Amino acid sequence: MSDKPHAAGRPKEIFGAFLLLGLTSFGGPVAHLAYFRTEFVERRRWLSDHAYADLVALCQFLPGPASSQVGFALGLMRGGLPGAACAWTAFTLPSAMVLTLFALGAGVLDGPVSQGIIHGLKITAVAIVAHAVWGMARRLCPDRRRTGIALSAVFCVVLVGGAIGQVTAILIGALAGLLLCRPDAEADAQDLVLPVSPRAGQLAALSFIILLAGLPLLAWMNSSPILSLLDAFYRSGALVFGGGHVVLPLLEAEVVEPGWIGADAFLTGYGAAQAIPGPLFTFAGYLGALMAPGGSALLGAALALAMIFLPGMLLLVAVLPHWNRFRRWNSAQALMRGANAAVVGLLGIALYQPVWTSAVHGSSEFLLALTGFLLLSVWRFPAWAVVILMAAGGLAISG
């Protein structure tokens, strides 16, 4: 399979594909990567498994929300900067709107019907992640060495834990690939279509540094609440590795300790963020709505969302112009084979925690998840159809 798209994607196509994922992608950042693979590698065939795993490994190394960075890169490959903007907006918008409304007291997550549907969608994540683990393991761990690397990644994440464990697992996998996977010559090293010029990459890197250094200075010189909000959320997005749950301690230090919102309100919003699809970074929309000066909750939510995602996207744009040259090196190909095997291990451990443990509590949930897995892997149902069926099944179980 070529890494080059069959045709340039239209913004409408990209927006529609990612909007569906934004509405249905439960299970956290690693689960989102499984949804992306099902949609864009298997179903739409925008790129190969090897190229997709390379992007995942790259985004795991960078600060910021890994799944959103992968989605941004996929939109960029398919439709340039407009495609990247459509991908990020569509994937982020549903959960951002729900959490902002929740902050305004709309109570959109209350009620037995909505809770039953949410439970079914969490079970959907079990089926989709299991399907992705199975498919990626067959392609990216075809021999004993890479299977061993994947297993080592599982042990590393279990023993070390957190984002440090994930980054360490990929680093160890890459080094093991460099030592053990050189004889293999089957790696797909075709160039990815990444329409980012070196100059654009340099401007992105410069912007990242200027904002990281300049916003704290501006906030210190001017007591404006808006400047303080911009600084707090930009730094939180810039200094977190692993994304998702890892950003929560940083946000707590930025918004609870200074007294902008209470600890109870913070934990309530975090619980709501756990119950909806999409990137966990959209929790910033809830916090921004609560922190904004009177009458500007929507503006506060929009600014908080933009600033927490911005540093990760700037870093990704800064790195992408050099990515194809890196992938063509023989040593880099061996390194990426090991890193890709480690990604399979990370996805495998995520299938258990948090995806399985948060969704499967009894035999009914197990049977529903197994049905979803078989619909995807044996009968080749499209992901959107499985999502609808699993939502209905979750509602039936809850009822």
| Closest alpha carbon to 273 in 286, 257, 262, 264 | 286
Q: How far is CA 321 from CA 63, 199, 204, 210, 328, in A?
A: 18, 9, 11, 20, 13
The one-letter code for the residue type at 192 is: L
Instruction: Decide which of 36 and 56 is more confident.
Output: 36
Give the integer Cα–Cα distance in Å for 132 and 129: 5
Cis peptide before 183 (omega within 30 of 0): no
* φ, ψ dihedrals at 299, nearest 5°: -65, -45
pTM for the whole structure? 0.76
Count Cβ atoms below 10 Å from residue 385 Cβ, excluding itself.
12
* SS3 state of residue 187: coil
Give the integer Cα–Cα distance in Å for 340 and 113: 40
* SS3 state of residue 388: helix
Q: Is the pLDDT of residue 188 over 60?
A: no
Average pLDDT over residues 141-151: 93
Indicate the average pLDDT of the chain. Answer: 85
Q: What is the pLDDT of residue 330?
A: 75
Give the integer Cα–Cα distance in Å for 36 and 14: 12
Average pLDDT over residues 1-8: 46
Rg (CA), the chain: 21
Q: What is the pLDDT of residue 2?
A: 42
Q: What is the pLDDT of residue 3?
A: 46
* SS3 state of residue 189: coil
Instruction: Decide which of 186 and 299 is more confident.
Output: 299
Q: What is the pLDDT of residue 106?
A: 62
Average pLDDT over residues 27-47: 88
- Return the exposure string of 17-27: e unless at least 16 CB atoms fall within 10 Å of the residue's CB, then b: bbbbbbbbbbb
- What size, in residues, is the chain? 399
pLDDT in tens, 82-132: 999 999 999 999 999 999 998 887 655 667 887 888 788 788 878 887 888
The tokens 């209905």 sit on which residue?
392
Q: What is the pLDDT of residue 263?
A: 81
Written as six digits, the tokens of 28 are 């956290």
Q: Is the pLDDT of residue 137 over 50?
A: yes
The answer to whether the beta carbons of residues 32 and 87 sit under 8 Å apart is: no
Beta bridge pairs of residue 63: 241
Q: Is the pLDDT of residue 6 over 50?
A: no
Q: Is the pLDDT of residue 382 over 60?
A: yes
Give the integer Cα–Cα distance in Å for 300 and 387: 32
Q: What is the pLDDT of residue 5?
A: 45
pLDDT class for 71, splitting at 50, 70, 90? very high
CA torsion through residues 79, 89, 120, 365, sign: positive
The tokens 């927490």 sit on which residue?
308
Q: Which of 133-142, 201-210, 221-230, 272-281 has the highest mean pLDDT?
A: 201-210
Q: What is the pLDDT of residue 4?
A: 47
Q: What percent of the chain has pLDDT over 70?
A: 91
* φ, ψ dihedrals at 30, nearest 5°: -70, -35
Residue 241 sits at the vertex; the CA angle it makes with 239 and 247, to the nearest 5 degrees, is 70
Output the DSSP codes for 33-84.
HHHHIIIIIIIS-SS-HHHHHHHHHHHHHSBS-HHHHHHHHHHHHHHHHHHH
Give the integer Cα–Cα distance in Å for 138 and 49: 10
Q: Is the pLDDT of residue 184 over 80?
A: no
Find all residues with CB under 8 Å of 47, minimum gap 6, and list them: 1, 3, 5, 40, 41, 55, 74, 77, 192
Give the integer Cα–Cα distance in Å for 318 and 362: 46
Choose the weakest-confidence range: 41-45, 243-247, 339-343.
Answer: 243-247
Q: How far is CA 55 from CA 48, 189, 316, 320, 325, in A?
A: 11, 13, 10, 10, 14
Q: Is the pLDDT of residue 386 over 70?
A: yes
Q: What is the pLDDT of residue 7?
A: 46
| Closest alpha carbon to 353 in 154, 60, 173 | 154
